[in-house]
Amino acid sequence: MSAAAINIRKNAEDYKNYLSDLQSWESEIKAKDQAAKTAKPAQTPPVRQAASTAAPPLKQKPGAAGMVGVRTGTSIPITTREDSQPPAQDTDRALIEKEKGNAWFKKGDYERAVSCYTRSMQLDPSNAVLPVNRAMAYLKINKYEEAEADSTQGLKIDAKNVKALWRRGICRRELGKFAESKADFEKALVLEPTNKAVKDDLQKLVEKRARDAEALARPIRRRLEIEEVCDEDAKPIFMDVDSTRSISPLLTPAASRITSFAPKPAATPPQTATVPEVAAKVSPVKRAAPASPARTASPAPRRVITPISPANRTYTVPGTMYEFERDWKSVKRDPAVVYSYLKAIDPANYLKIFKNSLESDYLSTILAVLSTQARNHNDVSFARECMLALSRLPRFAMTAMFLSKTEKQTVRDLVAWMKAEAGAAAELDALLKAYDAQ
């Protein structure tokens, strides 16, 4: 047999032996596993402390004995839980870093200045000037929180450092901590009464405080009483409008809904008059909202906006589909309002508003409204105009196809009524055809 074949056979044998060996090993190791779980816990040395004094610590100076290898350019200091004392040369290096930081600061590169000061602070934590300088750099890049922390650190090292107090005062002023800022400035003035810069900042603080207080003193609560005019079973409505800064943005859109806002310049004023007109037809019920005084007594501004009766709303004439849809959502509940809303829209504008998107449920609602309301008001011409204009919309044929049998019957009834009232049979027949209701 060739050497290769012998080898293959040998290998297969080796593999088989190994596998059977593996079986016995498996059972052995599982037993050991179980035994190990009950082994007694080993004694381990305590947690490692900082560098032991057994051997002199090797520093990272190039060329020193024991320091070898290719310099790779990045230095890696090892820090332990307890930092060892900084030797004398570190204070010198700290000063060098401080000078570097000052140079960057003068050039306007505040970020680099911060990192230089940081390094110098690490080298010499006992120098109060360094954190105060870093605070100044942070101030320049508007990092007030960090600057405050640094000035506080500087003050911890040297409690009488005027610069630190002054800078902390500035930070606190910018952060809105006015009382503390004032305290800092005043303390600085006590230490150095002739310091003009501190005096100026104190003045600025006072002014800023006055400005802010003014803003806060603006009228806080403005309760709007809404009178309910028709709808008997609508819930009592009122609203607490609180114009404090935090929630006014939320309420402004709602607030604007309550008052009738000026109609669009294109439309004429009488549009909005139709709603109160309709409302006037129904017997007005004045309800003075007796529960409101109790509610307004509650101190916290409440953002509860209870549903407003549609009768009190006034709508602008829609100019786009978006406005139509938006208003339609609240309008469609009350046929009377729908009718007046529809009347407000000039049929010539239908094309502009609806374009291609007259949906079949709008059509159904409009037809239903027309059949009840228009008949009530005997407004044939409007009904006819409306239906005609609708039928002229692009893709109306598609929409008409979706009309159910009852709706088509409604159309036929409407047309019959219109014929009875006004004549013009031919036109109305064409209308029937358009609505696919022959």
Partner 1 sequence: MTLEKCQIITHVQKSLAFTAYDVKWVPCSARFVVLGQHARGTGALQVFELNTGDIKLVHEAEKSDAFKCGTFGASALRSRHLATGDFAGRMSVWDLERTEMPTYTVKAHDQIINCIDGAGGVGCAKGPPEIATGSRDGAVKIWDVRQEEKPVAKIAPVEGDIVHDTWAVAFGNSFNDHERVVCAGYENGDVKMFDLRTMSLLWETNVKNGVCSLEFDRKDIQMNKLAVATLEASYNIYDLRTLHPEKGFAHVTQKAHDATTVWAVRHLPQNREIFLTSGGNGSLNLNKYTYPQQRSKKDAKGRDEGVAGTIEQINTASVAEQPVAAFDWSPDKQGLCVFAAFDQAVRVGIVTKLDQYR
**Where on the chain is the footprint of partner 1 (CB under 8 A)?**
4, 7-8, 11, 14-15, 18-19, 22-23, 25-26, 29-30, 32-33, 36-42, 44-48, 50-52, 54-60, 65-72, 74-81, 115-116, 118-119, 122
Distance of closest approach, residue 58 Cβ to partner 1, in angstroms: 4
Distance of closest approach, residue 76 Cβ to partner 1, in angstroms: 6
143 Rama sector, left if φ>0, alpha if ψ -120 to 50, beta otherwise: beta
CB atoms within 10 A of CB 25: 11
Residue 366 tokens read as 């409009």
**CB nearer partner 1, residue 96 or residue 368:** 96
Contact of 275 with 339, CB cutoff 8 Å: no
**CB nearer partner 1, residue 48 or residue 333:** 48
Residue with tokens 């003193």: 217
Distance of closest approach, residue 107 Cβ to partner 1, in angstroms: 16
Residue 42 is classified by DSSP as P
CB atoms within 10 A of CB 377: 16
CB atoms within 10 A of CB 327: 19
> Measuring CA to CA, which residue among 382, 431, 397, 389 is closest to residue 411?
431
Distance of closest approach, residue 100 Cβ to partner 1, in angstroms: 11
Residue 193 tokens read as 């009464």
> Measuring CA to CA, which residue among 144, 217, 216, 228 is closest to residue 180?
144
The rounded distance, in Å, linking the Cα atoms of 138 and 150 is: 9
**Backbone phi, psi, residue 221, to 5°:** -115, 135
Distance of closest approach, residue 62 Cβ to partner 1, in angstroms: 11
Distance of closest approach, residue 90 Cβ to partner 1, in angstroms: 13
